[in-house]
Amino acid sequence: DQSGLAYSVGTTLDRFIKSKQSDFPFASGELSQLLRDIALASKIVNRETNRAGLSNIGGAFGQTNIQGEEQQKLDIIANIRFIRALSKGGEVCAIVSEEEDAVIDLQNKSGKYVVAIDPLDGSSNIDVNISIGTIFSIYRRKTQVGSPIQKEDIMQPGTEQVASGYVLYGSSTMLVYTTGFGVNGFTYEQSLGEFFLSHPCIKSPEDGQIYSINEGTQDEWELGIKDYIDTCKSRKYSARYIGSLVADFHRNLLKGGIYLYPATQKNPNGKLRLLYEANAMAFIAEQAGAVATDGNRRILEIKPESLHQRTPLFIGSKKMVEEAMTLASVSIKSQ
């Protein structure tokens, strides 16, 4: 339901989650508790992020993760904090994390949920004080007993998400999430340690004049994408790209815009991860009236083949994504 507006701005996240529990028939509060566990971990990560420059935990940790990317200390801290909060919360049986090569089996037989998470996306921005974010997807496990099974419980398509969201550690810290009944945004009040409803029932403008893409790789894009970006320039649209998906996505969600990460030579399947980046943002986008595709199909319909698989990502205002895809398909047909 769209009753987000029925809740006065200023409702706390806890009260909001509890009030929405009725959206789930037979809900016994586990998902509500899981969302609270995520909010708790995000408060801790928020504090660590704000202090990074001061407490000498900024900068590279000197290790690399499965992606071969240099892990920042905050990446590791955020990963530990979310895993610990989800483990202690008791609602989760397995976690897929960008920072972990394999699935983490929490050995929690009563945990009904699986969480896919990028604990701190855009972490190369940490040292230069640019906004970063946490991205998460929540699934119900499909098997009923025993340890979660990768194929059935972990590798679920995005359409099976029961919830998804992101935390944006920006000029203010926001938690934006959906459980399939619209998108609501909460702003963190540091002095009270509480998230308060600030953006009820977010709807993304159907069209926009902002495009977000790394133009440094333009010679590697398929022709249709280049045609689309040239069209944006001919219309004097604004180029806004800060190298942090959560921040670029959030701005475009509220103002209208499109974020594009096409296939490139370095990333022939795109750079963004399906399980813990694209799917979560695609669920939010669609719930807010926007669109998310890999160039051929809805992101949410992609059947995962591997934990850390990448996908091209075109996400944002409906009319902008549709126009970009029309030009892309024309170029594919003409090749």
Q: Which residues bind ligand P6P (CB under 6 A)?
A: 121-122, 124, 214, 243-245, 248, 271
CB of 55 to ligand P6P, least distance (A): 23
Q: DSSP 3-state assignment of 78?
A: helix
As given in the structure block, the two tokens for residue 135 are: 């991205």
CB of 42 to ligand P6P, least distance (A): 17
Give the separation between CA 234 and CA 228, rounded to whole angstroms.
Answer: 10
**Residue nearer to ligand P6P on the CB measure, 40 or 96:** 96
Q: Is 230 annotated as a binding residue?
A: no
Enumerate long-range contacts of 103-112, CB under 8 Å, 24 or more apart.
Answer: 103/148, 103/150, 103/154, 103/307, 105/147, 105/148, 107/147, 109/145, 109/146, 111/141, 112/30, 112/140, 112/141
- Residue 307 per-residue DSSP state: T
State which amino acid sits at residue 293: T
**Residue nearer to ligand P6P on the CB measure, 122 or 158:** 122
**Residue nearer to ligand P6P on the CB measure, 46 or 134:** 134
CB of 214 to ligand P6P, least distance (A): 3
**Residue nearer to ligand P6P on the CB measure, 186 or 261:** 261
CB of 195 to ligand P6P, least distance (A): 22
Q: Is 277 annotated as a binding residue?
A: yes
CB of 169 to ligand P6P, least distance (A): 13
**Residue nearer to ligand P6P on the CB measure, 237 or 241:** 241
DSSP track, 11-77: -BHHHHHHHHGGGSTT--SHHHHHHHHHHHHHHHHHHHHHHTTTTT--SEEEEE-TT-PEEEHHHHH
Q: Is 46 annotated as a binding residue?
A: no
Q: Is 122 annotated as a binding residue?
A: yes
Q: Is 121 annotated as a binding residue?
A: yes
State which amino acid sits at residue 228: Y
Angle, in degrees to the nearest 10, between helices 223-234 and 318-334: 130
Q: Is 271 annotated as a binding residue?
A: yes
Q: Is 120 annotated as a binding residue?
A: yes
CB of 177 to ligand P6P, least distance (A): 18
Pairing verdict, β 161-169 and 173-178: antiparallel
**Residue nearer to ligand P6P on the CB measure, 3 or 124:** 124
Q: Is 261 annotated as a binding residue?
A: yes
Binding site as annotated, residues for Mg(2+): 98, 118, 120-121, 277
Binding site as annotated, residues for substrate: 121-124, 214, 241, 259-261, 271
Binding site as annotated, residues: 98, 118, 120-124, 214, 241, 259-261, 271, 277
